[in-house]
């Protein structure tokens, strides 16, 4: 009973390949996918996937790399997309590594999406690279009691982690292979009831950019990630897996 806390299934390829991927992963025990979008362009595809497969939980959002491409009315479009039952908002966030994308625009688009998430009481999934202090400041200005959020593919420091946990954040990791001692230490600090694991499929470790991983590679990768994280946390694998599944259920309430 595995779940993937952050995935982009719509990027797998054509409809036939996508359907085969989901069905094969389900048959092998992956029963919940938090499927994140990146821009208005792929929202409809995520809607279609969520309607066709009950295991797909749809998230609609504007990724920071797409912040400069928004057009007037995009917020109303996001509100309409969120009419889909049990949907979240994501992938949203801040990224200072992309210096060609105006950071002030990223902040504006991110803040507006957090406002919408909080007003609708919807969970949201956050991308952050080299912008932790700004991210935390923005989140501190929100009424986060009204919704839940996760940091996907966490890459911050211990201080960042503690600040985010204080704000109520869930924390997700996408890989532990060749992880630094610091990263393993941070995983140990996260309470089990705030932890998620993800693949960020199709952008997975060990796969060249632009190549879609097979369902066999994907499922084995996720199983290994769960086993590695359970060992770090000193938990039985079945107890650990159920704990993360329960986190997903709570996260979507």
Q: What is the chain's Cα-based Rg?
A: 17
Q: Summarize pLDDT for 214-228 with one digit per residue, the tens.
A: 999 999 999 999 999
Contact 178, 153 (CB under 8 A): no
Q: Is the pLDDT of residue 36 over 60?
A: yes
* Predicted pLDDT at 17: 80
Using one digit for the tens of pLDDT, what is the confidence trace for 119-151?
999 999 999 999 999 999 999 999 998 899 999
Count other C-beta atoms under 10 Å from residue 77's C-beta. Answer: 15
Question: Residue 176: pLDDT band by 50, 70, 90 thresholds?
Answer: confident
Burial class from Cβ neighbours inside 10 Å (0-12, 13-18, 19+) for residue 253 reads exposed
Domain boundaries, the chain: 2-251
Interhelix angle 74-81/43-52, rounded to 10 degrees, is 0
Indicate the DSSP class of residue 252: T
Q: Give the confidence band of 178 by pLDDT, cuts at 50, 70, 90.
A: low
Q: Does the structure show a pLDDT above 90 at 15?
A: no
Residue 179: pLDDT band (50, 70, 90) is: low
CATH number of this structure's domain 2-251: 3.20.20.140
d(CA 44, CA 60): 9
The candidate with the shortest Cα–Cα distance to 92, out of 112, 118, 63, is: 63
Does the pTM of the predicted model rise above 0.85?
yes
Read off the pLDDT of residues 153-166 as tens digits, 9 standing for 90 and up: 999 999 999 999 99
Q: Is the pLDDT of residue 181 over 80?
A: no
Q: In whole numbers, what is the pLDDT of the chain averaged over residues?
A: 95
Phi, psi of 187 (to 5 degrees): -60, -40
Average pLDDT over residues 99-127: 97
177: pLDDT strictly greater than 80: no
């Amino acid at each position: 009973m595995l779940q993937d806390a952050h995935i982009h299934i719509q990027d797998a390829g054509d409809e036939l390949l996508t359907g085969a991927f989901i069905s094969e992963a389900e048959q092998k025990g992956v029963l919940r996918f938090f499927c994140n979008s990146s821009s208005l362009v792929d929202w409809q595809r995520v809607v279609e996937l969520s309607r066709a497969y009950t295991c797909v939980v749809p998230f609609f959002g504007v990724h920071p790399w797409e912040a400069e491409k928004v057009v007037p009315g995009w917020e109303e479009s996001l509100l309409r997309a969120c009419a889909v039952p049990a949907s979240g908002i994501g992938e949203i966030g801040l990224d200072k590594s992309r210096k060609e994308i105006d950071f002030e625009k990223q902040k504006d688009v991110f803040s507006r999406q957090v406002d919408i998430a909080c007003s609708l009481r919807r969970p949201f999934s956050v991308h952050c690279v080299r912008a932790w202090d700004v991210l935390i400041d923005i989140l501190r200005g929100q009424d986060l009691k009204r919704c839940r959020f996760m940091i996907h593919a966490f890459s911050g420091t211990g201080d960042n982690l503690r600040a985010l946990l204080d704000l109520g954040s869930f924390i997700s990791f996408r890989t532990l292979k060749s992880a630094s001692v610091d990263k393993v230490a941070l995983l140990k600090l996260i309470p089990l009831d705030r932890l998620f694991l993800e693949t960020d499929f199709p952008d997975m470790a060990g796969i060249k950019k632009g190549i879609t991983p097979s369902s066999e590679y994907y499922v084995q990768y996720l199983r290994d990630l769960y086993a590695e994280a359970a060992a770090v946390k000193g938990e039985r694998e079945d107890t650990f897996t159920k704990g993360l599944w329960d986190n997903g259920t709570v996260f979507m309430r």
